[in-house]
Amino acid sequence: MKLFYCLLLFVTPAVFAQKSIQGKVTDHRGNALPGANVFLKGTYDGGTTDANGVFVFLTAESDTATMAASYVGFEVFEKKLNLKESIPVMTIKLEELANELNTVVITAGAFEASDEKRMAMLKPLDIVTTAGAAADITGAMQFLPGAQRVGEQEGLFVRGGSGQETKIVIDGMIVQNPFFSSLPDVQSRGRFNPFMFKGTSFSTGGYSAQYGQALSSVLLLNTTDKISNNGLGISLNLANAGLNYDYANKNQSVSAVVYYGNLRPLFKLVKQNVEWLHAPEFKGTSLTYRWKPTKNGVLKVYGMYSDSHLSMNSKDPSSDTGEMRLVLKNNNAFTTSTYTDSWADGRWTLNSGLSYSRNKDNMTWDGVNFDRFDERTQARIVLTRLLTGNNTILFGAEAHAINIGNGIDGKMYRLKDRYTAAFVESEIYITRALAGRIGVRSEYSSVIGRANVAPRLSFAYKTGRYSQISLAAGQFYQNPDYRYLYLNKSLKYERADHLILNYQIIKNQRTFRVETFYKNYAQLVREFTGQRFDADPYRFPWGATNNGGDGYARGFDFFWRDQKSIKNLDYWVTYSFVDSKRLFQQYEQSATPIFISNHNISLITKKWFEKAKTNLSATYAFTSGRPYYNPNNDEFLKDRTPAVHNVSIQASKLQSIKGNLVIFYATVDNILNTRNVFTYRYTPDGKTRYAVGPQSYRSFFVGMQIMLSKKAKVEKDDF
Q: List residues near another protein by CB under 8 A.
A: 1, 5, 8-9, 12-13, 34-35, 37, 39, 41-48, 68, 70, 72-73, 99-101, 115, 118, 123, 125, 226-229, 250, 613, 654-656, 659, 661, 710, 712-718
Nearer to another protein, 50 or 371 (CB): 50
Beta carbon of residue 226, minimum distance to another protein (angstroms, whole number): 5
Nearest to 378, CA basis, from 530, 218, 539, 211: 211
Distance CA 279, CA 700 (A): 17
Residue with Cβ nearer another protein (126 or 557): 126
Cβ-in-10-Å burial (0-12, 13-18, 19+) of 571 comes to middle
Nearer to another protein, 12 or 632 (CB): 12
List C-alpha distances in Å: 528 to 39, 183, 325, 462.
81, 26, 30, 50
- Measured between alpha carbons, how far is 495 from 179 in angstroms, rounded to an integer? 25
- Cβ at position 48, least distance to another protein in Å: 5
Nearer to another protein, 25 or 499 (CB): 25
Q: Which residue type is seen at 502?
A: N
Q: Write down the least CB distance from residue 662 to another protein, Å.
A: 10
Task: Give me the least distance between CB of 562 and another protein, in Å please.
Answer: 16
Nearer to another protein, 298 or 643 (CB): 298
Q: Which is nearer to another protein, 45 or 136 (CB)?
A: 45
Q: Which is nearer to another protein, 241 or 714 (CB)?
A: 714
Q: How far is the CB of 288 from another protein (least distance, A)?
A: 15
Give the shortest CB-42-to-another protein separation in angstroms: 5
Which residue, 127 or 692, has its beta carbon nearer to another protein? Answer: 127
Nearby residues of 186 by Cβ (< 8 Å), 6 or more positions away: 152, 274, 695
Element (H, E) at 646: strand 644-657
Burial of 86 (0-12, 13-18, 19+ CB in 10 A): exposed
Strands 372-386 and 411-431: unpaired
| In the complex, minimum distance from the CB of residue 92 to another protein, in angstroms, rounded to a whole number | 15
Vertex 17: Cα angle to 12 and 22 (nearest 5): 125
Given the complex with another protein, which of 61 and 481 has the nearer CB atom? 61
Q: How far is the CB of 30 from another protein (least distance, A)?
A: 21
- CB neighbour class for 222 (10 Å; exposed up to 12, middle 13-18, buried from 19): buried
d(CA 416, CA 445): 10
* Cβ neighbourhood burial of 16 (10 Å; 0-12, 13-18, 19+): exposed
d(CA 497, CA 504): 23
Query: Can you name the residues that pair with 653 across neighbouring β-strands?
Result: 614, 664
Least CB distance to another protein at residue 248 (A): 8
CB of 711 to another protein, least distance (A): 8
Q: Are 589 and 583 in contact (CB under 8 A)?
A: yes
Q: Contact at 8 Å (CB) between 349 and 390?
A: no
Closer by beta carbon to another protein, 71 or else 595: 71
